[in-house]
Chains A and B, each alone.
Chain A
Amino acid sequence: MNKVMISVLIMAGVTYIPRALPITLFRKRIKSKIFKSFLYYIPFSVLGAMTFPSILYSTSNIYTALAGTATALILAYFEKGLMKVALGSVITVYIVDMLLK
Chain B
Amino acid sequence: MQSTEYIVNQKLAAGRKDKIHHLKRGFYAGLPIALGYIPVSFTFGLMAVNGGIPVWMAVFISLTNLTSAGQFAGLNLIIANATYFEIALTTFVINIRYMLMSLSLSQKIEINTTMLKRCILAFGITDETFAVASQEEKDIDFSFMLGLIIGPYIGWALGTLLGAATTSILPESVQASMGIALYGMFIAILIPAAKKSKEVVMIIAMAVFISSVFKWVPVMNRISEGWSIIAATVISSIIGAVIFTREEEEYE
Contact = CB atoms under 8 A, between A and B. Distances in A.
Interface of A: 3-24, 26-27, 29-30, 33-55, 58-60, 64-65, 68-69, 71-73, 75-77, 79-91, 93-94, 97-98
Main secondary structure of the interface of B (DSSP, over half): helix
Contacts of A52: 208, 211-212
Given A46-B207, A59-B179, A39 B106 contact: no
Interface residues of B, number: 100
B1 interface: no
B234 to A, nearest CB: 8
A3 to B, nearest CB: 8
A42 B97 CA distance: 6
Contacts of B36: 82-83
A4 B161 CA distance: 18
B70 A24 contact: no
Nearest 9 A/B pairs, CB to CB? A76-B191, A85-B188, A49-B232, A89-B184, A38-B241, A48-B207, A22-B103, A37-B241, A86-B184
Interface in B201-237: 203-208, 210-212, 215-216, 225, 228-229, 232-233, 236-237
B7 interface: no
A29 B96 CA distance: 17
Nearest to B54: A4
Given A18-B95, A33-B248, A23 B122 contact: yes
Nearest to A93: B177
Main secondary structure of the interface of A (DSSP, over half): helix
A84 B106 CA distance: 34
Given A10-B84, A18-B99, A68-B184, A42 B211 contact: no
A73 B152 CA distance: 28
A20 B102 contact: yes
Contacts of A18: 92, 95-99, 102
A36 B93 contact: no
B180 to A, nearest CB: 4
Nearest to B181: A86
B247 to A, nearest CB: 7
A45 B188 contact: no
